[in-house]
Structure 1
Amino acid sequence: MYQMKYRLFIILFFILAISCQQNKTFRSIDSFRNSHIWTLAKLVQSEDTAKMREFVNSNPAIDIDELDSKFHKNLLIWAIFNGRYKSVESLLRLGADPNFIAFDGTTPLIYASRFLTSEYKADSRYIAILLKFGADPNKVTKDSVSGLKTNALDVAAITSIEYVKYLIEKGKADPFVKVNNISPVEQAVIQDQLEIVDYLISSSNVSLHIPSGTYGGGRTVYDILVKKHYPSDSDLYTLQQRILQLQTTVPN
């Protein structure tokens, strides 16, 4: 058991390191420089949607989802990652795949579900437009390197209650889905997103009396929340106590 948890820790650390590195460098459009869509990439960067449309219509044989040479992602993901909403909408209208899956299991909707503006605020427009064009909020994907799985709600549960609500209420995302044996409510508890925990309980009747996929050993998500320590004068403490009181009774 210890070796398995240690291995999982190493894998997660590796993924986090790669992700942090990508966060620093995927801002540049230059990784598309040697692709067939370099001209389109520059138009995506500048959000010149009229010229984007003109380029695609004049080059019907191009693959609008061609990958960049460094991160192996498409322009749609680049546009979401870099907050180019006009380009995101234009790419989707021009035929970009809303359910594209990168080698690491990420999708446009997964990127949209963890997107924060430069002011660290949520922006549901990206999720909304992807759902409009057919993105599947219940798709579970796998990283081809680590073997770990992910999906949009799994990511949203540690990012923003706004995203969680949108995915469930508008996208009909399954609040009970487990990814790597971990449910959205457990993700939220671990990351101290108690507002999300409260929402999942009240809106979807999610229970905390379920086995923990993170710790195992008979522990439940309820047990994890019980052991959380928040300042007694904090909003988190108040919310924690209210949730624990509501979840005192173990369902049959």
Structure 2
Amino acid sequence: IRAQPAIHFLQNGSRTVHVTFIGLYLGRTSPLLSLMNKSFPLLGLQTQDCIEMSWVESNLFWNGIARDTPLEVLLKRTPTPPHSYSKHKSDYVKTPIPREGLEMIWKKMIDVGVFMLMQWNPYGGRMSEIPENATAFPHRAGNLFKMQYITIWQDDSGEATRTNIKATRDLYDTFTPFVSRNPREAFLNYRDIDIGTNSDGSLDFALDFFKGNVKRLLQVKAKVDPTNFFRYEQSIPINKSNSTERASVWSVLLKLLSWFD
């Protein structure tokens, strides 16, 4: 079940924050109601809150496409107008956010003055049973939920872009006391070059994405892609230089990363 706080504009021109709960259940409505009313009675889930559909139809739903739209729309590779722009960031929460913290966050969302929403995706269950080093993805036991910050706008002016990106960064900064630290973990699929790139050989961003798995990823990269053919701003870098200074820096980095083992 995903909690989704979002800015809601009222008829009188003021703004508030609405939190909706949304989820995907593989099964019929009846067993879901029984399960939800036992585990989450405060949500008060009712039959009319549920929509039964096929799995492929659910892809229309998650993409904000009307349910009666022909499924062939999923084959389109170009966006449908109007075009929009967005900024995304991510965080991981390991301890409950206190009430006063939530109130501060809601106030910040309202004060920034742009449309933004968040998606809080719960962790636990099977995710927590898999060791951090079992795959490159390390965000396992100890996480309550993952957050995605999303700001969306359609004005293509530079001013609108700067305003919306700044709003996203400001909300991200507001969450600093309530999220993971050292490193401040991030989710790879929510592209965010704010946390760093490999342009200067830095590995800070990689630690946020992969934590202690960076050492092995460096070794794999050097072995299977020594020419760095597969690359982008936040791909795992390789050591291109043969200089003693550069090599020593990488040696120190690998030694530091070994502490995560």
Shared fold by TM > 0.5? Answer: no
Bigger RCO (CA 8 Å, 6+ sep):
2
The structure where helix makes up a greater share of residues is: 1
Q: TM-score, normalised by structure 2?
A: 0.28
Q: TM-score, normalised by structure 1?
A: 0.29
The structure where strand makes up a greater share of residues is: 2
